Amino acid sequence: MKLMKRTVTLLLAACLLLGAIPAVSAVEGFSGVDAWFEPSLREMQELDLLPDSYYGMNVSKNITRGEMCELAVHALEKIWGYSIDPERTDYFSDTSADYIVKAYELGIVSGYPDGTFRPNARLTRQEFFQIIENFCNAAAFLPEADESYLNKFDDKGAVAAWAREAAQICVKYGYVNGRGTDQGAQLDPAGATARDEAMAMFLRAYKSLNEYYYYIKNAQVSVDDNTGSSGGETGENTVVDNVEITGVDMHMLVDTDTLNVRSSWSTDGKILGTVRYGADLTVTGLCANGWVQINYKGQTAYVSGDYVTEYQEVDHDATEGAVEVANYALSFVGYSYVYGGKDPSTGFDCSGLMYYCYGHFGYSLNRVADDQMNNGTAVSYDNLQVGDLVFFGSGTYANHVGMYIGNGNFVHAANPSSGVRVSSLNETYYANRYIGARRIIVD
């Protein structure tokens, strides 16, 4: 089978075969296009940044909440190189649109207290600011806010408290320039956002994000300066239902076959789910009655302290052998994803890549991702080292695996659309699905 190589850079504009683009008007299929917006619209078309539903739009009209979701999700999937699969579709009473559900799960948008999303409602400018910040965070790009950047706007005090940080970020990074009025430069936070304004500002954010991804996706193995700390006590005590809980920031390991996760610190608590042997737990509190408070799928939950244990402290860097395996795995970036594949001549699936790379150096792994969670030794998230296997899934089942390469990144056979690639553990999609790690090479 002829090997299909894929590009590893995400500078999409550089990859376009511009000579193959038909010689048609860049604004064909749109109405209401002002001269100032035409270059941005042309660039968005060339980058394939516009969802199909955008064609035929009057871009001078106000953008809706639903339309903004679709643009943001389409862009993220372009950056990542694969389509996102939502876990549920019933979050809102008034819509189950695929792109809205995806945007919600990625933390880009939220709904209203009454359970609605209101996809056809107009998007205010400060809502747009917040979506841009959330969009960057979902892609693991964490811009820093700076209050001073709002000083030039006469109406900075009108920005809602919940949108202030987002407004600072949008102005600081050049995504938003403000509106010129007789009263001076204005953010107009409560005003509607026209489609052309939203698209032009979003394009700036997308290009900034693409530059960031260019650097992390062309990663080299980098051994972290990691001392193996598993966290420590924060010293803040709380009382929940008459039980004192000492706040901590640490990771612990499940050491029983299957452990129930409950809504409170006793067996009377509702079972929220289960975690299995070797699972990495983010511990937020130690209960005086022996239970352990954890972060479970974004909410506070509890497990019995009888069935968890602390990680052993490790004070060494990644072994030379593990670094060698990780560099070998990186040599396959760009190869095809093939279900069941486990060698370069055919391509790889996620566990097949791990199986092949470690096998090349004489280490035998199980063949399936979930079974590979039984190989090696469990390690905490805080103690990840180059060469560790990182696992993702839902509940106790691992349906995806990659290899940690340092600096928060991992190499993996992602899916058929993007093949073997480098991703960040901080991407919302992976951060929400991370369930543990195993070390194969131990001194």
Residue 185 in this model has a pLDDT that exceeds 50 = yes
Distance CA 377, CA 438 (A): 5
pLDDT tens per residue, range 271-289: 888 887 767 788 899 999 9
Residue 7 in this model has a pLDDT that exceeds 50 = no
Q: Note if 360 is an active site residue.
A: no
Catalytic residue, candidates 170, 287, 350, 357: 350
Mean pLDDT score, 45-69: 95
Last residue of one domain, picked from the residues 310, 345, 372: 310
Cα(first)–Cα(last) distance of the chain, in Å?
Answer: 39
Catalytic residue, candidates 74, 136, 357, 400: 400
Residues 249/231, Cβ–Cβ less than 8 Å? yes
CA dist list (Å): 71 to 199, 202, 204: 8, 9, 13
Element at 164 (helix H, strand E): helix 164-172
Last residue of one domain, picked from the residues 192, 217, 242: 217
Mean pLDDT score, 409-415: 89
Assigned domain for 185 exists: yes
Spell out the SS3 assignment of 48-104.
CCCCHHHCCCECCCECEHHHHHHHHHHHHHHHHCCCCCCCCCCCCCCCCCHHHHHHH
Whether this prediction's pTM lies above 0.75 is answered by: no
Residue 217 in this model has a pLDDT that exceeds 80 = no
pLDDT in the model for residue 224 = 44
Mean pLDDT score, 132-145: 82
Which residue has better confidence, 256 or 289?
Answer: 289
Domain total in the chain: 3
CB atoms within 10 A of CB 68: 27
Mean pLDDT score, 198-219: 75
Same domain, 112 and 68: yes
Which residue type does 89 have?
Answer: T
Name the pLDDT band for 109 (thresholds 50, 70, 90): very high
Q: Which residues of 100-119 are buried (b: 16+ CB within 10 A; e: fewer)?
A: bbbbbbbebbebeeeeebeb
Assigned domain for 92 exists: yes
pLDDT in the model for residue 407 = 82
Tokens of 442: 């131990």
Same domain, 251 and 296: yes
Q: What percent of the chain has pLDDT over 70?
A: 82
Where in the sequence is the domain holding 30, given as residue range(s)? Answer: 12-217
Which residue has better confidence, 255 or 291?
Answer: 291
Q: Which residue in 280, 296, 282, 232 sits closest to 439, CA to CA?
A: 280
Helix (H, G, I), strand (E, B) or coil at 327: helix
Catalytic residue, candidates 69, 74, 170, 412: 412
The CATH number linked to 383 is 3.90.1720.10
Q: Note if 400 is an active site residue.
A: yes
Same domain, 135 and 235: no
pLDDT in the model for residue 382 = 87
Q: Note if 350 is an active site residue.
A: yes
